[in-house]
Structure 1
Amino acid sequence: MEISRENQDPVKKNVRIYWNERSKTFDQDVGHGADHHECQLWKNQLRTIIGDDKKDVLDFGTGTGMIAINLAELGHSVTGIDLCEEMLDIANRKAESKDLSIRFLLGDAENPEFPDRMFDVVICRHLLWTLPHPDVAIREWSRICRPGGVIIAIDGHQEPKDYFHHSDEKDESEKSDQEKLWEQTYSKEITMQLPNGDQLTIESLKELFTTNGLGDVQSKNLKDIAEYHQRLHSASDHERQHEVNIIWGTVQ
């Protein structure tokens, strides 16, 4: 699945540059380079929604493959899609080290090049906030998901806030390279084109699902995972309360 660089949306081009660079340290962050205990927590939660029978699963925004790998270890047939080839390189190496057969492909979550009704489950984690056209994405995911299948989104925003931290208070010389890259990627001009950037509440996710045709929409706060993440954060980060929410709906 090849992405044309010449015709790529400027928002996605920026996003791709940022996350390719972030791939170098991505698994150092809590919740991405998950340890055995956290993986067990994720498997328990995902199993309650997906079930035990083998499913064809598509993981959008797979990143370095944490969710995809856990799903494969549960026995599902998994495909992982990401906009960033450097993320996918890491995901591939991690899957190979565990002797897992996961298909990782370069692709666009808003324009998936798959035939209709190919998957039983479509899942994403920490993705919908950075899509310029989330409604298009949900409709496309429904198209490639079989009737009765499930679309799942995992995210952590608790309430509307300035997630992008646009501020002129900090001097440029005081900013890390990562902070500078973040501000360049998610500039005010770019974030204005991200409908869910600052407003990704559980209520807005439910509305996104229902208005785009999903039925039996449900949600759950994953307190066990959030509490484990909190314990892993350094003392200086304890003030950063971060919920972990999961929402799912059925394809009609």
Structure 2
Amino acid sequence: MEMQDKARAVGQRWDYCAAGYDKIIEEERQTQEECWRQLLMAHRPAQSGELLDIGTGPGFFAILMAKAGWKVTGIDCSAAMIETASRNARKAGIDATFRHEDIHATSFPGQSFDYIVCRNVTWILYDPEKAFCEWFRLLKPGGRLLYLDANWYYVKDEAERAARERDEKEYRRLYGVPVDTYCGDDLTDQMFQQTLFFNHVDRPRWDRDHLSRFGFTNVQITPRLNEQVYDEKYRLLFHSIPLFMVTADKK
């Protein structure tokens, strides 16, 4: 599959998820906004500046950081997500810019941002080397990249697979069927799945081994944040899927 086709497949897949994912994020705004604000502010490279939220989705991080005084731009590969984020920002009375962009190759000049953040985005990359080099290009000297993600599809061994199945079974017993925001056709989802580089890659080991190759320094990895940022339901459902955080700087 050509790069252009991969970009189109990823964007179309998330177009189908926009409405459902917005509902999930709205719940997080109501229950978890403060813990996310504290986390992002604790690792910021400066008091304020230009921030880029990559894979902004419904705009959760973008709105949160605009409230904290940052000049915010949010980008996403899904046009529907950008429409949703723009609408949510207007509702919140927030001044932020949202643009439909290929997160592997943006249209911004180099050294445009002091702080780049993203959550649950790197797992959808089809060319991580290209994406991380692009994000490094976008950072100003002294800037910082912060991202959070997990091994959503990669399973290390049968013991981990069994643990995930036990967690989901208990979740179903207590809370019902886990939410799936995808409402599109099977072919679109199949094409999306074919693009995913990290489906068979152990992380954050890959990140530890590769980020310095793209120019980043001071790479710091927190292997698990589940108990710090998830609510009770997600702590159960994702108990065996650690949410890791990576920060990396541009010297």
| TM-score, structure 1 as length reference | 0.79
RMSD value, Cα:
2.9
Separation of aligned partners in 2, 1:159 and 1:107: 25
State the number of aligned residues.
Answer: 228
**C-alpha displacement at 1:91, in angstroms?**
0.7
- Aligned-partner Cα distance in 2 for 1:194–1:139: 18
CA distance in 2, matches of 1:37, 1:130: 26
Query: Which among 18, 25, 33 is matched to residue 20 of structure 2?
Result: 25
Q: Which amino acid aligns with 1:19?
A: W
CA spacing shift, 1:193–1:239, aligned 2, 3 Å:
closer
Q: Which residue of 1 aligns with 2:211?
A: 209
- Per-residue deviation, 1:146: 0.6
The partner residue of 1:9 within 4, 11, 25 is 4
Residue in structure 2 matched with residue 48 of structure 1 by the alignment: 42
| Structure 1: runs of 5+ lacking an equivalent | 1-6, 163-176
Q: Which amino acid aligns with 1:18?
A: R
Distance of aligned partners of 1:178 and 1:24 in 2 relative to their CA distance in 1, 3 Å threshold? closer
Query: Is 1:100 paired with 2:94?
Result: yes
What corresponds to 2:165 in structure 1? none
2:239 counterpart of 1:222: no
- Structure 2 spans left out of the alignment, 5+ residues: 157-179
By how many angstroms is 1:178 displaced?
6.7
Q: Distance in 1 between matches of 2:73 and 2:100?
A: 11
Residue of structure 2 in register with 1:232 after alignment = 233
Higher helix share: 2
Say whether the 8 Å CA contact 2:123–2:150 is kept in structure 1: no
2:146 is the counterpart of 1:152: yes
Per-residue deviation, 1:105 = 0.6
Give the equivalent residue in structure 2 for 1:247. Answer: 246
Q: 2:84 aligns with which of 87, 90, 111?
A: 90
Distance, in Å, in 1 between the alignment partners of 2:92 and 2:192 is: 38
Deviations 1:62-85 (A, max 9, x none): 111111111111111110001111
1:39 aligns with 33
- Structure 1 vs Structure 2: percent identity of aligned residues? 23
